[in-house]
Amino acid sequence: MERTYVMVKPDGVQRNLIGDIISRWEKKGFTLIAAKLTTLSKEKAELHYAEHVGQPFFENLVRFITSGPVFAMVWEGADVVSTSRLMIGKTNPAEATPGTVRGDYGVKIPNNIIHGSDSPESANREISIFFDESELNDYVKSG
């Protein structure tokens, strides 16, 4: 079954959006297989955002993502990577459609509330940065 990495960023945690975000994914029908509140080290943040090294916004992004706790989650389900991206909305909240997390709650980057992996390959890489294999719960929901 496909898995994705979803992370409520420090601004989303500060604005008490963890519960709302978990609820959206639960109601959609995806299965939560791991979750934790954690404050990223600079090293872990740089690893997570490795593809953005060299971008003019990189330092700001790392400063922002390490500024307070994030809520890290792994969700499982059919097409969970692409569907989660649809539920999250465009990177720039000003362009994100209402009904998406960023469209409903975000104002501007980098404070865009939430992160979701952009491909199954990124998901595997990102999950392994934040979780040990033993923390991923293997179960089937009954209803």
**Active-site residue list:** 115
Shortest distance in whole angstroms from residue 91 CB to ligand CMP: 5
Binding residues for ATP: 9, 57, 85, 91, 102, 112
Q: What are the b/e assignments for 86-101, b being 16+ CB within 10 Å? A: ebbbbeebeebeeebb
In the annotated binding site, the residues are: 9, 57, 85, 91, 102, 112
Distance, in Å, from the CA atom of 8 to the CA atom of 6, rounded to the nearest integer, reads: 7
- Binding region for ligand CMP (CB under 6 A): 52, 57, 61, 91, 109-110, 112, 115
Tokens representing 141 are 């929901």
Number of Cβ within a 10 Å radius of residue 143: 2
Neighbours of 120 (CB within 10 A): 15
Cβ 48 to ligand CMP, closest distance in Å? 8
For residue 10, what are its two tokens?
A: 């420090």
User: Whose Cβ is closer to ligand CMP: residue 69's or residue 110's?
Assistant: 110
Shorter beta-carbon distance to ligand CMP: residue 89 or 140: 89
Pick 59 or 138: Cβ nearer ligand CMP: 59
Task: State in angstroms the smallest separation of the CB of 142 from ligand CMP.
Answer: 33
137 alpha-carbon distance from chain centroid = 18
